[in-house]
Amino acid sequence: MRKRIFEIMQISKKDDVPSMAFDIVLVLVIFANIAAMFMQTFSSLSEIHGVCKVVEYVTVGFFCVEYILRIATADFLYPGKSKPAAVVRFLFSFDGIIDLFTIIPAFFLTGFVVFRMLRVVRILHLFRINSQYDSFNVIKSVLYNKRNQIFSSIFIILILMLASSLGIYSVEHEAQPEVFENAFSGIWWSVSAMLTVGYGDIYPITVVGQIMAIFIAFLGVGVVAIPTGIISAGFVEQYQKDQHADIKHADIDKVGEILVSADSELLGLTVSELKKEYDMNVYIIIRDDLTLLATDSVTLKQDDIVIVNSDKLVKRKKRR
């Protein structure tokens, strides 16, 4: 029973109707909870605040039951761990923390301001919708694989912000001490300038400060492009990996090797000519003790072993 409950609560498969139904219900409950929280902020909708409260309590009850069931089935999520260790692992996992933080505010709707502010955390339930699908997994993979480059770019941005904030403070403090009162004022200006926001509440008035601001503004365009380019390249790489990660059995049947003998009609052809004349995808060429990349300009020599993929190989096998 516990295993079946775990399967239902996990990512649904097309042939598992109860699991798909649970995913749909979960999405509807999350949106209902968020909608009830938003509508309670409108004074013009005060007549339906009571209904919103009921919706809120019902949906939070659903979250509580789901949270308990996920704790009870945590050993199936982490099969290599004991049940207590699996429960602890789930409680401190991303999903476990999100589940807990979206339930706690319901029990502190009145009282300290800190607990009332936790109600906003319930919007993190929206992460759980996206976490059920590959899109969120792709984002997590990209950020994890590019974490070193992203941290390096953020470190560079912080250094440039600190340098620009201290520089603009040193040249603008005497001219407008009430605006650039301290170094933090310079940080606020450097953030808005380097991130190309430019609120206009703080700006330099001296000639040196304005010249410095011009260079910092141009520098900000490049600074923003650094992490953007890293993440974009990561998405391209992840997409290419996903495209070639799964090799179907039908494709394996089409892969074969061809020995280029002395009397072979392939002898002397380039990889480009082989692709065009014989409709083959050439992967690699094994020549003596070397493995060559199948670039279009490579010419086939005697005793080369060519690894190819073609429908014609399948036809030849059937004929044999």
What pLDDT digit, counting tens, does each position of 197-221 carry?
A: 777 778 888 898 889 888 888 888 8
pLDDT score for 118 = 52
Residue 242 — pLDDT band, cuts 50, 70, 90? low
What per-residue string of b and e applies to 220-248 under the rule 16 or more CB within 10 Å gives b? beebeebbeebbeebeeebeeeeeeeeee
Residue 319 — pLDDT band, cuts 50, 70, 90? very low
pTM over 0.75: no
pLDDT score for 316 = 43
**Placement of tokens 């692992």 in the chain:** 89
> What separation in angstroms does the CA of 86 have from each of 74, 78, 298?
5, 6, 54
**Would you say residue 124 has pLDDT above 70?**
no
**Would you say residue 169 has pLDDT above 60?**
yes
pLDDT score for 12 = 59
> What does the pLDDT look like over 24-47, one tens digit per residue?
888 888 888 878 878 887 888 888
**Would you say residue 62 has pLDDT above 60?**
yes
Q: Nearest to residue 225, comparing CAs of 166, 143, 156, 165? A: 156
pLDDT score for 63 = 85
- Residue 206 burial (10 A CB sphere; 0-12, 13-18, 19+): middle
Domain spans, the chain: 2-132, 147-245, 250-319
pLDDT score for 294 = 82
Rounding to the nearest 10 degrees, give the CA dihedral for residues 198, 204, 205, 206.
Answer: -150
Span 114-124, mean pLDDT?
A: 53
Span 78-99, mean pLDDT?
A: 85
Q: Topology of 2-132 in CATH?
A: Four Helix Bundle (Hemerythrin (Met), subunit A) (1.20.120)
> What does the pLDDT look like over 304-318, one tens digit per residue?
888 887 655 444 444
Span 171-180, mean pLDDT?
A: 86
CATH number of 250-319: 3.30.70.1450
**Would you say residue 104 has pLDDT above 50?**
yes
pLDDT score for 200 = 74
**The two three-digit tokens of residue 228, written as one number:** 């953007």
**The two three-digit tokens of residue 141, written as one number:** 């993979």
**Would you say residue 248 has pLDDT above 60?**
no
pLDDT score for 119 = 52
pLDDT score for 110 = 54
Architecture of domain 147-245 in this structure: Orthogonal Bundle (1.10)
pLDDT score for 307 = 86
Q: Which residues pair with 285 in a beta bridge?
A: 292, 306
